[in-house]
Structures are given as C-alpha cells and as structure tokens.
Chains A and B, each alone.
Chain A
Amino acid sequence: MHYGPISAATGRSTEDLARRMRCRALEMVTRARASHIGSALSIADIVAVLYGRVLRVDPTIPDHPERDRFILSKGHACVAVYAALAETGFIDPALLETYGAEGSALMAHISHKVPGVEFSTGALGQGLPFGTGKALAAKRSGKAWRTVVLTSDGEWGEGSNWEAALFAAHHKLDNLLCIIDYNKLQSLTSVDETLRLEPLHAKFDAFGWVVEEVDGHDHAALAKALDAASWPAGKPAMLIAHTIKGKGVSFMEDRVEWHYRSPTAELLAQAIAEIEGTDHA
C-alpha cells in the first residue's frame, strides 16, 4: 500500500485531477439527464485534494483495513467521487458511462456497491453519525486511520448532524474530520434565506470542535487544511470550505437552477471547453 498521495504516484497535479473529474462529472450527468451537477462541481477540488494528496488509500486494495475512511454525506454529489475513483484507479473509467443506467452500480446517490465507497447516502444527515461511529471504533481499538466526512451546508438542517456534533466533541474524536461544502445555496434558494446557519464558525466552536475555514477551490490551502498534522489533538476537526456551487463553469456558478438542471449537449460542450481551457497549474 503506498498510502496516498496518489498524485505523487501518478505524477499528476490535483488541479489536473479536478479538471478531469469535472469533465467526467458533466459527461455523466448529461448522459443520464441527471441532477446535482452544481453540487458535484462545488466539491470537485476538495475531493481531488483528498484523493490526490491526503487520504491514505490504495486503489488496488479498496478495503485495506488501515485505509482512511472517506464518507460522502451529500450523496447527491456522487459524480464527483465516482469520477475521482475512476481517475485514481479504483474503478474502470468505462464504468462511468453506465452512471444512472438501468442495473448500474453507479446509482445517482453514492453507493457502497462501488469499490472504494465506504457508505451509501442520499438521505441527508446520515454520514456524520456513521463516520462518528467509525472514528469511535478506531479510537477504541487503537487504530491510526482517520475518518473524513464531507457534508453539504443545507444538510445541517438535519438534527442528526447536530446530535453527532455533540457526540464527537464529547468523546474527543480527534481522528474525525468533517468538511462542510459551504456554497451557500440549497435546492430552492440560499442557505441564508432557507434556514440560516450563521454564525457557523462560532457554532462549532461552541460545540467543542476545532474549526478552520478555507477557500474550497484553492488546492494548496486545501492540502494544508485537510492534512491531519494541521489539527490539534483532543477535539474533532471541522473545516468550513467556502465554495461556489457549479464552480468551473461560468453559466453554472452560484446559480440555484443547476442543483436540478441537466445540461444539453450544446451546454456540455461549452462547459467542457471552459474547464479544459482553465489553467490552475
């Protein structure tokens, strides 16, 4: 097991990984006429840095007992993770073409039937309690691996998340990292107009977590913020990642309709051209 950084193993940058993931995600969603592309583009950089530089995982042994556990709680953004798994060698990239098709393992909310996926979600507010159980199990059995849970912002309307937030702090689960994809848009309108989360940083601070904020599209900043060494012992870690829904495609960025809309072939071509023309490296 090479224990992550997959980018180091492949010689590719995480920016390049994120670009490929975005293109694949757009292709999948367009082909399947599926929703949630805005949510997937929002987390593409976070997921790219996780798989490319942070998580200790081995694509050849997806269920390696010493692996870090990554849980996508916002299961509707699964195309970003499926794309990352294809780009990093967990699954055959050809499998992506079956996304959303009849009988495919790649259902439109993340599925544990796909190699490398720990846990199926789709009902919000279930990833963090589950991840908290994993983190507690690791603590109690003396394991060194980390649990990383990626949530949306809107799903913090779920009481179960707040139950888990209390629990993780009470039990000092410093082997647990929760990331909030804070793009500030929900299904119908903004988080502020739906069910306000602010002051978010102060809330988690008060709950007993260590809280940091990061630009969720800055790979260097993400690599540092996601690194276990950046966090003190004794408390669970909360990373508020400021993101833009639909990031990378000009006509999707910060637009609520791309929570549900699926691109036409013409818009797909335009989106891919924009992404491939982008140079973050």
Chain B
Amino acid sequence: MRDAFIDELTTLAETNPHIALIVGDLGYNVVECFADRFPDRFINAGVAEQNMTGLAAGMASEGYHVFTYSIANFPTFRCAEQIRNTVDYHRLPVTVVSVGAGLAYGAAGYSHHAVQDYALMRTMPGMTIAAPGDPFEVRACLRWLVANPRPSYLRLGKAGEPSFHDDVPQVAPGEWIMLRDGDDILLSTGAALGAAFQRSETTHRGFGIATMPLWSMTSKHNQPEALAGHRKVVTLEDHLTDGGFGSWMLEAAIGRPDLLPRIESIALDPIVCGMVGSQATLNRAGGLTPPPAAS
C-alpha cells in the first residue's frame, strides 16, 4: 500500500502544485521518488511529530495540501492535540498518513501497534478517515482527498498487500463499494478487507463483501439506508472494538432500532495489546481472522 501511496502522490503532484509531503524521519526507500522529483515540496521534519503537524497546518493555511507521513501511532497520538486544534478546528487541508496501521508491525511491539487510531481520529468533527483495503483503494482515496482537500487521516497497511479490485474504484465518504453482493454482507474498512475474504470462505460462507474506505462523523447519515438493504451486516476492522468502525456503524444506526439487530462487529480483542507476533498471528489471536480450525 505504501508503494501505491507514494506512486500516486507523486503522480498527483505533477499536476497539483499545492501538494507537499512532510515526513517524520521515516520513509526510507519509500519517499525518495517524491523527494527527488519535488525537493521544494518535500521536508523531513525530523523526529518531532508535534512540530511536523503544526508546521503542516501552517503551510496548509498558506495554500498547500500537506501530507504528513510517519508510522503507526507517531503521526496521530503523539500529536493528537495539534491535529485537534490546529488542523481539524481550523479545517486545514492536512492529510495525516500513517503506515503500518493495525498490527502490520506485529513483531515491533505495542508502541508500533495502531489499533486505537480510529477512536482518536473519528471524534474530530471535520476529519475524514481514509482506510483503504488494497493498493487500488489507496489510489482511489488519494485521488478523492486531493480533489477534496480537508483534514483527513490516511491509514495505510504496509507493503505487499494483495489487490481485491481490478481497477481503481470510485469512492466517497460513507459509500459502500460492493465487491460481491449478498443479503448478508461482510463490510470491512482498512486492511481488514483480506480478513473479509477469508471469512467469506470459512466462518461466513455465502456472505457478500463490501468495503468502505472513506468515512467520517458527517457521513453516518446514509448508513441506515445502506443497512436496510441487507439482512445482516458484519463490520470488520483491524482495530479494537471500542471506538472503532463497528462502533461508528452502531452509532450511525442508533436512531433505527429496527436495523440495530442486523449489525455485528468483528474487531480486535484487547488481548493483542502487548502481544508480539506476525500480523497474521496477532489478527488471529485478536479474533479478526478465523481460527485455524475454521479454515
């Protein structure tokens, strides 16, 4: 996903002179193509995420669309107040990019496990979350964000994720992208899309698959209508249940008691907090992917 990100961003920057990239001393062997092509619009802010975010907002207030890039929790929790007050409150076009979301850095330990980031970012009124499920969705989200500059959070996996689309899909906040229709639906956001496919062949045979890479506080309103078209909707996310995507969907349906029983949530159990292992191991331990017996 990160390769699709930098490739697409570099392409978009060819025609959009406002795009700038600030990295927090991370992105070795990833960001060079952008840095070499646009040295005037690339900055390594050093290991200083609070300043990186304030700096990005200052530049954004002067016409740039700034992407801040770091890994896991560093561009989010470390500078949460800067995102809240400086970026979101002022409605500035800063896209916070985190690579290695979920448990992608499984062996790196808890510091690198981004499993509470939705909870933080989705409480900010102007924030749009972009959580692509494959490299095509990365490109789709980036194109949408560049066309609609705003406070935003782009949550990337790591590298080598499979593609689930044949081409770049059309995306919009709150819109479900149907990959396989069905009365019962596995609805994923972010890198949980792979888990949805696994589940559809094991624990949830016969379920259709949909993905929603763009969502926000303000795109809840059309969820009841989307939910009404299905018998059951199971949300999937590589994030803790609390404050996550499934919680968001339940909030979206709170005014429709008839729809609430249709929603189920598969998310990570907090047992994974502090556990070390590969992403696959931890996703299984946390209950996102099915246990081996089911496969």
Whether B56 and A133, one on each chain, are in contact in the complex, defined by CB atoms closer than 8 angstroms, is yes
Q: Which residue of B lies closest to A121 (CB)?
A: B85
Residues of B with Cβ closer than 8 Å to A? 40-41, 43, 45-46, 48, 50-51, 53-64, 81-82, 85-86, 89-90
Interface of B is mostly: helix
Q: How many A-B residue pairs have CB under 8 A?
A: 89
List, in ascending order, chain A residues with CB within 8 A of B82's CB. 126, 129, 160
Docked Cα-Cα span, A122 to B41, in Å, equals 30
The CA of A141 and the CA of B57, in the complex, are separated in Å by: 16
The answer on a CB contact under 8 Å between B81 and A130 is no
Residue contact A132 to B55, C-beta cutoff 8 Å: yes
Query: CB distance A129 to B89 under 8 Å?
Result: no
Residues of chain A touching chain B, judged by Cβ–Cβ distance below 8 Å, are: 112, 118-123, 125-126, 128-138, 140-141, 159-160, 163-164, 166-167, 170
On whether the beta carbons of A137 and B64 are closer than 8 Å, the reply is yes
Interchain CA distance A136-B40 in the complex, whole Å: 10
Chain B residues, Cβ within 8 Å of A133? 54-62
Which residue of the partner chain A has the closest CB to B62? A137
Are B58's CB and A129's CB within 8 A?
Answer: yes
The answer on a CB contact under 8 Å between B85 and A163 is no
For residue A62, give the distance in angstroms from its CB to the closest CB of chain B.
14
Minimum CB–CB distance from A217 to chain B (whole Å) comes to: 30
| A50 vs B54: C-alpha distance when bound (angstroms) | 24
Whether A137 and B59, one on each chain, are in contact in the complex, defined by CB atoms closer than 8 angstroms, is: yes
B55 and A167 form a contact (CB under 8 A): yes
The residues of B that contact A131 with a CB separation of less than 8 Å are 58
* Known contacts A120-B90, A129-B82, A164 near B59 by CB under 8 Å: no
CB distance B58 to A126 under 8 Å?
A: no
Cross-chain contact B57 with A122 (CB below 8 angstroms): no
Given A112-B90, A120-B85, A160-B82, A130 and B58 contact (CB-CB distance below 8 Å): yes
Measured CB to CB, the nearest residue on chain B to A112 is B90
Residue of A nearest to B41 (CB): A140
- Cβ contact within 8 Å between A136 and B58: yes
How far, in whole Å, are A131 and B56 apart by their CA atoms in the complex?
10
Counting chain A CB atoms within 10 Å of each CB, the highest count among B45, B51, B82, B89 belongs to B51
Given A119-B90, A126-B86, A167:B48 Cβ within 8 A: yes
Give the complex CA separation of A159 and B50 in angstroms.
Answer: 8
Given A120-B90, A130-B86, A160:B59 Cβ within 8 A: no
Query: Does B85 lie within 8 Å of A122, measured CB to CB?
Result: yes
By a CB distance below 8 angstroms, the chain B residues around A121 are 85
Contacting residues, chain B, for A140 (C-beta < 8 A): 40-41
The answer, among A120, A132, A134, A138, for a CB contact under 8 Å with B51, is A132
Which residues on the A side are within 8 Å of B63 (C-beta)?
137, 141
A121 to B53, CA, bound (A): 15
Q: Which B residues lie within 8 Å of A120 (CB)?
A: 85, 89-90
> Across the two chains, which residue of chain A brings its CB closest to B64?
A137
Q: How far is the CB of B62 from chain A (nearest CB, A)?
A: 4
By a CB distance below 8 angstroms, the chain B residues around A159 are 50
If A129-B55, A167-B48 touch, whether A136 touches B86 (CB-CB below 8 Å) is no
